[in-house]
Amino acid sequence: MKKGEVYEGYIEDFDFPNKGSLYIEDRKVTVKEALPGQKIRFSISKKKTGMAEGRLLEVLERSELEDIEPLCSYFGICGGCAYQNLSYKNQLRFKEDMVKKLIDKALPGHSYEWEGIIPSPVQNAYRNKMEFTFGDAYKDGPLALGLHKKGSFHDIVSVCEKSGCVIINSDWRKIVQFTLTFFSERNVPYYHRMKHEGILRNLVVRQSAATGEFLINLVTSTQWKEYGFDEKAMLNEYVNGLVSLEKNGELTEGGSIAGILYTENDTLGDVVKSDRTTCLYGKDYITEEVIGLKFKISPFSFFQTNTKGCEVLYEKAREYIYNTESEMNNPSGKVVFDLYSGTGTIAQMMAPASKRVIGIEIVEEAVEAARENARLNGLTNCEFIAGDVLKAIDLVSDKPDLIIVDPPRDGINPKALDKILDFGVKQIVYISCKPTSLARDLKIMNEKGYKLVKACCVDQFPFTRNVETVVLLGRKFTEDIEYGYVDYEPSDDIVIKGSATYSEIKQWIMENYGIKVSSLYVAQIKDKLGFEKRDNYNLGADGHRVPVCPKEKEEAIIEAFKHFKML
């Protein structure tokens, strides 16, 4: 096998988020964008010890998963939706299998309750926020406004022409298309990310599912004068044109324009960032409603991008936290930490059943919005702190009874995770938008004393590779026999359903966990769980210090008991 060689084969396996794999000459080859069951033609792009990477050239035979025709005319060109040719049933099955596989690989041999995947209540036109980019469709081509072309950093696909992007409605497409036409006719150049020259950068659109109101934010550089444009006159004309869409009845799906903003951004990086933001028309926020709570959404504050799916996600999180409806509606006296709290959605959801809720979020604008939202909802027991969780958590004098984390895509900073786990709370609810980050953090949390109790997926992103995951973790056994959410507690009523010799138990643990345990440790855990055992086991002579079974080995022994049906 050499770099550049071309092969054909059937994709046998798939890893999140987009890596198909097959074996050529006993070497595993991963090929991005290939689906299980597809027969593909590919070239070798990288060769490593025992494995290789391939570049997809052609799909020769479709997978059984590909059971519908794409709904979007830009499918295969746009780098957004990847599963337009999969029925929603197959999308859900595919995502569920990938997440479950990641968790099981991170926690081999662990038992937990898997609750499957919950579908999004809406599959089309579900987005409440989109960031569109100005550029050109090809080098030196006409101005484009849309999403990045698949596999390209530079080329932009204007996804609001023709029938248009299906994850937004026709009102969005009219706003985007008007913007593109307006600036194209006036020959305003886009900002070239490599040369750092030009004006137009992004158009960020948000819409409230509750009110239908749009918040439109035009993002540009400050280079208007260099190109001979009157910035103020141009922006006034643009605003008047957008407003006329509503006044002339062209927004036919219930949309109305709440505010039009203008953001100056001279950052060299390809990010939407505000050096200065000005409200050109209306107000600088929209109001959203989730689970009976109202939220003011400002231009740069985080909010889940699928409002109806967000309600399902947070209902599932609340279900993991509360055992009964009465517990949900009555203050429990608990102090709750909501880490990476965004605009405070989860914190306010927890507030009615908590003594105090403390949210920590690094984006100051989101924190201000969270405080305003708490006032809007009449909640007086919420406090929001602006800062990095790693540092800000040290500023809180309260000790939490429960911790909820909803971190960014990269997961939790390892140092911050150590501080979170040091609180020793009995329950942690982890909401994740990137399963690979979750799997990494679950492994660390397990090693440091937390067991995965239950988990499920919530699909908030139909047609895309992304999926949310919600997990409940409980603290494992501690040396003073204090229990959180675990499967086994000491009891005088334990019934031994099966049996195994000590040798069989130790051999099973070695084969499945690769660790050695002593008969003494097995005896200690039997005693801890209330098993009967013979009197002649060496429990240590008077004055002799008997080693205590480490937590890792204790868990392995318990899993062995379960395997042999002793529990």
Q: Three-state secondary structure along 141-180?
A: CCEEEEEEECCCCCCEECCCCCCCCCCCCHHHHHHHHHHH
Task: Name residue, tokens 């022409």.
Answer: 161
β-strands 113-118, 450-458 pairing: parallel
Residues 2 and 152: their CA atoms lie apart, in Å, by: 26
Burial of 266 (C-beta count, 10 Å sphere; 0-12/13-18/19+)? middle
Task: Name residue, tokens 């019934």.
Answer: 495
Residues 6 and 56: their CA atoms lie apart, in Å, by: 10
Helix axes of 519-528 and 551-563: crossing angle, nearest 10 degrees = 80
Active-site residue numbers?
433
Supply the pLDDT for residue 302.
Answer: 80
Which residues, at least 6 apart from 514, have a Cβ–Cβ distance to it below 8 Å? Answer: none
Supply the pLDDT for residue 332.
Answer: 61
β-strands 356-361, 382-386 pairing: parallel
137, 158 Cβ separation under 8 angstroms: yes
126, 198 Cβ separation under 8 angstroms: no
Long-range residue pairs from 524-527, CB within 8 A, at least 24 positions apart, any chain: 524/548, 524/549, 525/549, 525/554, 525/557, 525/558, 525/561
Strand, coil or helix: 452: strand
Supply the pLDDT for residue 543.
Answer: 41
β-strands 156-157, 143-148 pairing: antiparallel
Burial of 472 (C-beta count, 10 Å sphere; 0-12/13-18/19+)? buried
**Token couple for 134:** 């100005």
- State the Cα torsion 344-406-100-97 to the nearest 10°: 60
Q: What is the pTM of this model?
A: 0.79
Residues 526 and 491: their CA atoms lie apart, in Å, by: 11
Supply the pLDDT for residue 173.
Answer: 94
Supply the pLDDT for residue 549.
Answer: 86
Phi-psi label, residue 510: left if phi above 0, alpha if psi -120 to 50, beta otherwise: alpha
DSSP letter string, 493-531: T--------HHHHHHHHHHHH-----HHHHHHHHHHTT-
Per-residue pLDDT of the chain (567 residues; tens, 9 = 90+): 889 999 999 999 998 888 999 999 889 999 999 999 999 999 999 988 889 999 999 999 999 999 999 988 899 888 889 999 999 999 999 999 999 999 999 999 999 999 999 999 999 999 999 999 999 988 888 999 999 988 787 889 998 876 779 999 999 999 999 999 999 999 999 999 889 999 999 999 999 999 999 999 999 999 999 999 999 999 999 999 999 999 999 999 989 999 999 999 999 888 899 999 999 999 999 999 998 899 988 888 888 899 999 999 999 998 898 764 445 555 567 899 999 998 889 999 888 888 999 999 998 888 998 999 999 999 999 999 999 999 999 989 889 999 999 999 899 999 999 999 999 999 999 999 999 999 999 999 999 999 999 999 999 999 999 999 999 999 885 433 333 333 333 333 333 346 777 888 888 888 777 788 888 888 888 888 877 544 434 444 334 345 788 888 888 899 888 888 787
